[in-house]
Amino acid sequence: MRGAPEHLHDALSGDIIQQGYLARCLDKDAPCAGYAADPPMACAWRGVRLASHSPTLSLSDSEAFVSACAAPDEVFRQRASIALMDLSDRVFGRKVGALDQMTATAESRDLLYPSIDAVRTRVNSALAQEDKGERLPPFAPAGPGDADQPVAWSSCGPTVCLEGFTPAFGGGLISFRVSVKSQTASPSQTDALAAKLAAAALEAPSAAAALSAAAPTQITAGPVCWSKGRGPSGLSYAGAARAPCHPVAAQSGA
């Protein structure tokens, strides 16, 4: 059975699963043998995960961080802040701000809820449902990047590509786009496939029909701004960002 030292070693080595486990064990309701509750450190470890640039981070990870760090006590906030800044630098080589700054960043509502990797998985499931043999490969690890710049992701097969942006700190999606290259299919069929794959990414099949039928390049539906279009060489694309729609393309990452 693994003990506290092993979990800590792996967390310090950059394993975000172990960082999450450690955070849960250090929370005020610590359920793990060998751990004493230490809520400031639980808060800090949840924040360290958000600095990882992992493609598996979703908006729920950001919400868990904000919730774990919601304490008015100044001793709590100072300990958590110092640990968050130190550990993020030590584990991932990334400079982050003090606790109040990072919780404000993580509370952003300008994001879609899933992780970029969940989007990739859903697109692959939709490809299977369409009897397409192609699958999108796992994302390559994100580069260091600037501390305040979105993280860009790309996963491509022979004819289908998924591109997206995630926040520099936190989980969820700024935007994503699925593009499909036309081969033997007609442009309208390629448009329809891109729309189906993009809609599957947010588990919103009705959006596929709306994207296929609509003349505008952007459609607002509740919290989502859907976009579609065509590029060079018969390329069709469809994607989404958080509503409201803006005049610029949703895939800008801005």
pLDDT tens-place string over residues 138-169: 999 886 655 678 999 999 999 999 999 999 99
How does pLDDT run across 82-135, given as a tens digit for each residue? 999 999 999 999 999 999 999 999 987 799 999 999 999 999 999 999 999 999
Q: Which residue shows structure tokens 């859903």?
A: 122
CB proximity list for 209: less than 8 A, separation 6 or greater: 195
Q: Which residue shows structure tokens 């109040």?
A: 100
Judgement on whether residues 99 and 123 belong to the same structural domain of the protein: no
Query: Among the three residues 74, 106, 138, which one is the final residue of a domain in this structure?
Result: 106
Using CA atoms, how far apart are residues 101 and 194, in angstroms rounded to an integer? Answer: 38
Q: Report how far apart, in Å, the C-alpha atoms of 11 and of each of 15, 168, 252 are.
A: 5, 20, 33
pLDDT of residue 250 exceeding 70: no
Judgement on whether residues 91 and 147 belong to the same structural domain of the protein: no
Tokens of 122: 């859903």
pLDDT of residue 10 exceeding 90: yes
Which residues lie across from 181 on neighbouring strands? 235
Judgement on whether residues 45 and 72 belong to the same structural domain of the protein: yes
Residue 47 inside a domain? The answer is: yes
Beta strands 151-156 and 160-166 are antiparallel
Percent of the chain residues topping a pLDDT of 90: 75
Judgement on whether residues 127 and 102 belong to the same structural domain of the protein: no
- Report the predicted TM-score, pTM, of the whole model to 2 decimal places: 0.91
Judgement on whether residues 145 and 38 belong to the same structural domain of the protein: no
Judgement on whether residues 155 and 98 belong to the same structural domain of the protein: no
Judgement on whether residues 20 and 101 belong to the same structural domain of the protein: yes
Judgement on whether residues 225 and 248 belong to the same structural domain of the protein: yes
The arithmetic mean of pLDDT across residues 52-58, rounded, is: 96
How does pLDDT run across 173-195, given as a tens digit for each residue? 999 999 999 766 688 889 999 99
Q: What is the pLDDT of residue 253?
A: 40
CB 135 within 8 A of CB 21: no
Judgement on whether residues 12 and 80 belong to the same structural domain of the protein: yes
Range of the domain at 135: 116-252
Residue 111 inside a domain? The answer is: no
Query: Among the three residues 63, 78, 106, which one is the final residue of a domain in this structure?
Result: 106
Judgement on whether residues 240 and 146 belong to the same structural domain of the protein: yes
3-state secondary structure of 11: helix
pLDDT of residue 59 exceeding 80: yes
